[in-house]
Amino acid sequence: MTVLALDKSRQRPQTEGFKCGETFEEIEGMRSVIFYLNLPGGPTGQKLEFICREPSCGALEGEEEAAVLTDEDYIVDPHFFDDGYSMAGKTGFKVWTGSRLLVETLTWPQSNDCKRLREIQDSLRKGAKVVELGAGVGVVGTYLAATGSQVLITDLPTLVENAIDDNLERNKHIKLDVNANVNANVNANANDLISCPTWLQPHGLNVGRGWADSTSIDWARPLEEQLTEDQSTCLDFIVASDVVFLKEMLNSLFSTVSALFESSIVSSPSFILSFQRRDAKDGEESKAFTTVPGILQAVQDQGWKLDCLAWRHVTVNKEKNEAIVKEQSEVFVFEIKP
């Protein structure tokens, strides 16, 4: 079995100044959860907000404000019979542990960040072109856009139409200082930062310092049927957060990533993946859930390289003998390159 050797110097403590939380809002007669995150370097109190169907799972820490739904607040899933909808789609309407660590790692630099991570952070602040896969409600992609990136946010049609698009509209009012990015990089194309980049036209929205648009991608379908040439040939990064908790999703995800690697003829993108460990303590490979050794083996089978940029201990609730117990786990941010 392939084993991940953790570099203790890349263990990421909680980020000072970064806060998440949840509240409620009545939307079209329904009590909806609003997940929020504050922005780095912006005016005090400025934050992004995301409409969710359920409270987050593992994304809040300490005394951060959490929303609790009653039985009456839960409704029959209105998208159950949508084309392509599945358990993966259902879980996309809430925020998971890996989204928090991925946002922190990519947009809130810390003194112990490795050289490669600092290069990635710098590129993202200065207008890097990003495709997010399996975006759910759009937290990671929208946050990357707000802090300076150009992002195409993707998921199944149901999530794009009923979560991502609504959340992009909700956050397009966020305005940060564009010149802060331009002045920091004399090679940056200022026009890309102050007007919608060509590859995100005609529907791209300005969010904070960057730009974002959305489109649907089904990992089971050929990529060339779903993206334009502009959208697939000049990427800097592919990102995904907590999208392969089920084994059946891993091969489909890697097939899509492989297609993006091959189509990116202008640049050589890397794939940044956050993942929460679900390995059994006895070391046996799970029949249903993707494990760290499973990811490592899949990367090796593709002939790719993997580096752990950051990781953190997390406490997770697990059901045992009809009781909820707390267990320690880890969440990782991997960079995968062909």
Per-chain mean pLDDT for the chain: 87
At residue 214, the pLDDT reads 98
Mean pLDDT of 154-168: 95
User: CA 148 to CA 208: how far, in whole Å?
Assistant: 7
Structural domains for the chain: 8-14+88-337 (3.40.50.150)
Query: Tokens 């072109």 label which residue?
Result: 129
At residue 186, the pLDDT reads 35
User: CA 331 to CA 320: how far, in whole Å?
Assistant: 21
At residue 77, the pLDDT reads 56
Residue range 20-33, pLDDT digits in tens: 999 999 887 778 89
Residue range 82-99, pLDDT digits in tens: 555 555 556 788 999 999
Name the band, by pLDDT with cuts 50, 70 and 90, for residue 182: very low
Pick the range with the lowest mean pLDDT from 37-51, 194-208, 211-225, 318-332. Answer: 318-332
Token readout for 332 is 């990782």
Amino acid in position 56: S
Mean pLDDT of 191-208: 86
Mean pLDDT of 192-209: 89
Report field, pTM of the whole predicted structure over 0.85: yes
* Residue, of 172 and 43, whose pLDDT is higher: 172
At residue 183, the pLDDT reads 38
Q: Show the beta-strand stretches assigned E in the chain.
A: 20-27, 30-38, 47-52, 129-133, 150-155, 205-207, 210-216, 237-241, 270-276, 305-320, 323-337
Residue range 38-79, pLDDT digits in tens: 999 756 678 999 999 889 998 999 899 999 877 665 555 555
Mean pLDDT of 194-205: 93
User: CA 137 to CA 118: how far, in whole Å?
Assistant: 27
In terms of Cα–Cα distance, which of 127, 169, 168, 167 is closest to 147?
A: 127
User: HSE of 99 in the Cβ direction (CA atoms, 13 Å)?
Assistant: 29
Residue range 249-308, pLDDT digits in tens: 999 999 999 999 999 988 899 999 999 997 765 556 677 889 999 999 999 999 999 999
At residue 242, the pLDDT reads 92
Name the band, by pLDDT with cuts 50, 70 and 90, for residue 189: very low
